[in-house]
Amino acid sequence: MPEIRVDETRCKGCELCVTACPLKCIAMSETFSVTGYYPAKLAKLECCTGCGLCAQICPDLAIEVWK
Partner 1 sequence: MKLINKKPASLVDKPMRYCPGCGHGIVHRLIAEIMDELDIRERTVGVAPVGCAVFADEYFNCDMIQGPHGRGPAIATGIKRSKPECIVFSYQGDGDLASIGMAETVHSAARSENITIIFINNAIYGMTGGQMAPTTLLGQTSTTCPAGRSVAVNGYPIKVCEMLAQLQGARYLERTAVSTAPGVIKTKKAIKKAFQNQIDCVGFSMVEVLSMCPTNWGMTPVQGARFVDEKMTPVYPLGVFRSPEK
Instruction: Tell which positions 27-66 bind partner 1, by CB under 8 A.
Output: 37, 50, 52-61, 63-66
Q: Is residue 6 close enough to count as binding partner 1 by CB under 8 A?
A: no
Contact call for residues 33 and 9 (beta carbons, < 8 A): yes
Total site size for partner 1, rule CB under 8 A = 29
The answer to whether 22 and 51 have CB atoms below 8 angstroms apart is yes
Cα distance between residue 29 and residue 2, in whole Å: 20
Which of the ranges 7-15, 25-33, 40-48 carries the binding residues for partner 1, by CB under 8 A?
7-15
Nearer to partner 1, 44 or 56 (CB): 56
